[in-house]
C-alpha cells in the first residue's frame, strides 16, 4: 500500500499546507487556480477521498440514516426500503438498515446502535410489542430527528408518514357493499398496532353505516401461519363466509394457502379482498382484488418528509398516503 491519500500527505508532497489543500479541493475562492489545479491532479492520482469519520468528527454532520423495520423480508417493507435507499442516495445519504425482529428489546438495541453511529436521522416502523416510547423521546430530544412510518405511534407529537388506514378500511367496506357480499370474514394483523385498529374500525363502522344486513366476523393473526389456520377454521364452519378480507400481504398469503388446501375456487366458492402492494395479488389466478398500498410511494414520501424535518426543524407532522382499489377477479 502506497502512502495513504490524506490531506496531509498531499500537502507535504506538494510542499503546501493542509488547509490550502482542503480549500483547493472544495474550490474555495481564496485559492489560486494554479494551486487548485496542482492539488486536484495529485488528489485524483492518489484517489483521494475525504475520511468521512474525520469529517463527521469535525462538522458533526453525518450522512447516514438509520432505518429500523420489524423485518426486511416482508412484503411491504422491502419495497419501502428500496425506495428510501434510492431517494437517500440522491441526497447523498446512505442507509444503515436494522431489523427489530418484532422484539421491543431488539428495537431498543437498534436505536442505541443508531445513536452510537450518530446517524443524521432515523426511520422507524414500530414493532407490535412497542409500548414504551421513552427511548424514542430521549433520542429525539438529543437532536436526532425520527420519522415514523407505517406502524406509527398514536400520539400526535411525532413525525409520521403513513397510509390513510381508516380510509383503507372504509374503502374495503364500500367495495364489499358494492359487490353485495353478505357474510364477511375479516382477518387482521396484530391488534396492538394502530394500523390494525384503524383499518378494522374503518371497515366495521363504514359497513354498519352502509347496511345493517352485512354480517361481519373478525379475527387476528400474527403471521402467515396463523392466518392460514384462522382461514381454515372459518372455512370448516357449516356456514362459510362469502368473502374474506385480508389486512395485509402476510395475511393474504396464509388465506390463499388455506383456500388452496380446501380446494375452493376463487371467486366462485369464496371471494377475497386484500390490502396489498399488488405483487401477490397479481400472481394469483384469478388476480386478487386489492386496495393498493405502495411501499415505494410511502418511502419517497418518508424521505421527503425527512428532508423537511431536517431543514425546518419540524417536530410533529402527519403525512398520509391515499389508497385506491385495484380490481382483480377475486370478488
Partner DNA sequence: TCTTATATTGCAAAGGTTTGCGAAAATGTT
Partner DNA sequence: AACATTTTCGCAAACCTTTGCAATATAAGA
Catalog residues that contact its own copies under the rule CB under 8 A. Answer: 1, 47, 49-54, 56-57, 62, 64, 71-73, 78-79, 81-82, 85-86, 89, 94-99, 101, 112-113, 115-118, 138, 141-143, 253, 256-257, 260, 280, 282-287, 295
Cell numbers that stand for 234 in this block: 372459518
**Within positions 12 to 51, which residues make up the interface with DNA, using CB under 7 A?**
15-20, 22-23, 25-26, 29-35, 48, 50-51
- Nearer of residues 33 and 73 to DNA, judged by Cβ: 33
Q: How near is the Cβ of 257 to its own copies at its closest, in Å?
A: 6
- Among its own copies, DNA, none, what binds residue 86 when CB lies within 5 to 8 Å by partner kind? its own copies
Cα R_g (the chain), whole angstroms: 26
Q: How near is the Cβ of 111 to DNA at its closest, in Å?
A: 18
Question: Left (φ > 0), alpha (ψ -120 to 50) or beta: where does 178 sit?
Answer: alpha
Looking at residue 21, what DSSP letter applies? Answer: H
Looking at residue 191, what DSSP letter applies? Answer: T
Cell numbers that stand for 295 in this block: 411501499
Q: How near is the Cβ of 57 to its own copies at its closest, in Å?
A: 5
- Among its own copies, DNA, none, what binds residue 18 when CB lies within 5 to 8 Å by partner kind? DNA
Q: How far apart are the C-alpha atoms of 201 and 216, rounded to whole Å? A: 12
Chain centroid offset of residue 55 CA: 30
Q: x-or-dash pattern for DNA, window 59-88, by CB under 7 A? A: xx----------------------------
- Nearer of residues 16 and 204 to DNA, judged by Cβ: 16
The footprint of DNA on this chain (CB under 7 A) covers a number of residues equal to 30
Q: How far apart are the C-alpha atoms of 52 and 47, rounded to whole Å? A: 15
- Nearer of residues 132 and 178 to its own copies, judged by Cβ: 132
Looking at residue 118, what DSSP letter applies? Answer: T
Helix pair 194-210, 165-178: axis angle to 10 deg? 30
b/e map 8-26, b = 16+ CB within 10 Å: ebbbeebebeeebbbbbbe
- Nearer of residues 18 and 296 to DNA, judged by Cβ: 18
- Among its own copies, DNA, none, what binds residue 229 when CB lies within 5 to 8 Å by partner kind? none
Task: Answer whether 267's CB lies under 8 Å from 286's CB.
Answer: yes
- Nearer of residues 50 and 153 to its own copies, judged by Cβ: 50
Q: How near is the Cβ of 290 to DNA at its closest, in Å?
A: 48
Task: Work out whether 260 is an interface residue with DNA (CB under 7 A).
Answer: no
The residue assigned the cell 434510492 is 86
- Nearer of residues 64 and 104 to DNA, judged by Cβ: 64
Cα distances (angstroms) measured from residue 26 to each of 20, 42, 232: 10, 14, 65
Q: How are the residues of the chain apportioned to helix, strand and coil, as percentages rounded to the nearest 5? A: 45, 20, 35
Contact residues toward DNA (CB under 7 A) are: 4, 6-8, 15-20, 22-23, 25-26, 29-35, 48, 50-51, 54-55, 57-60
Amino acid at each position: 500500500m502506497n502512502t495513504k491519500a490524506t490531506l496531509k500527505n498531499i500537502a507535504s508532497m506538494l510542499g503546501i499546507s493542509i488547509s490550502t489543500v482542503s480549500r483547493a479541493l472544495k474550490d474555495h475562492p481564496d485559492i489560486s487556480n494554479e494551486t487548485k489545479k496542482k492539488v486536484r491532479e495529485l488528489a485524483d492520482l492518489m484517489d483521494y477521498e475525504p475520511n468521512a469519520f474525520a469529517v463527521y468528527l469535525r462538522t458533526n454532520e453525518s450522512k447516514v440514516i438509520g432505518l429500523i423495520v420489524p423485518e426486511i423480508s416482508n412484503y411491504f417493507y422491502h419495497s419501502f426500503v428500496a425506495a428510501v435507499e434510492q431517494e437517500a442516495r440522491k441526497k447523498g445519504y446512505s442507509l444503515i438498515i436494522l431489523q427489530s425482529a418484532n422484539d421491543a428489546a431488539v428495537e431498543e438495541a437498534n436505536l442505541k446502535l443508531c445513536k452510537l453511529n450518530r446517524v443524521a436521522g432515523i426511520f422507524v416502523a414500530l414493532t407490535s410489542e412497542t409500548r414504551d416510547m421513552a427511548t424514542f423521546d430521549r433520542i429525539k430530544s438529543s437532536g436526532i430527528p425520527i420519522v415514523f412510518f407505517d406502524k406509527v405511534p398514536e400520539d400526535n407529537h411525532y413525525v409520521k408518514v403513513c397510509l390513510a388506514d381508516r380510509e383503507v378500511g372504509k374503502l374495503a367496506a364500500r367495495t364489499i357493499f358494492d359487490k353485495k357480499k353478505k357474510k364477511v370474514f375479516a382477518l387482521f394483523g396484530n391488534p396492538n398496532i394502530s394500523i390494525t385498529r384503524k383499518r378494522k374500525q374503518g371497515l366495521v363502522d363504514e359497513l354498519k353505516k352502509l347496511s345493517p344486513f352485512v354480517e361481519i366476523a373478525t379475527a387476528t393473526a400474527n403471521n402467515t401461519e396463523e392466518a392460514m389456520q384462522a382461514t381454515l377454521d372459518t372455512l370448516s364452519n357449516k356456514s362459510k363466509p362469502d368473502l374474506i378480507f385480508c389486512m395485509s400481504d402476510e395475511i393474504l398469503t396464509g388465506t390463499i394457502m388455506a383456500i388452496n388446501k380446501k380446494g375452493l375456487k376463487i371467486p366462485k366458492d369464496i371471494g377475497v379482498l386484500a390490502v396489498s402492494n399488488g405483487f401477490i395479488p397479481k400472481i394469483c389466478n384469478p388476480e386478487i382484488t386489492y386496495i393498493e398500498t405502495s411501499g415505494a410511494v410511502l418511502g419517497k414520501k418518508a424521505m421527503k418528509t425527512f428532508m423537511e424535518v431536517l431543514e425546518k426543524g419540524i417536530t410533529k407532522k402527519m403525512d398520509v398516503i391515499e389508497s385506491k382499489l385495484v380490481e382483480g377477479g377475486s370478488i
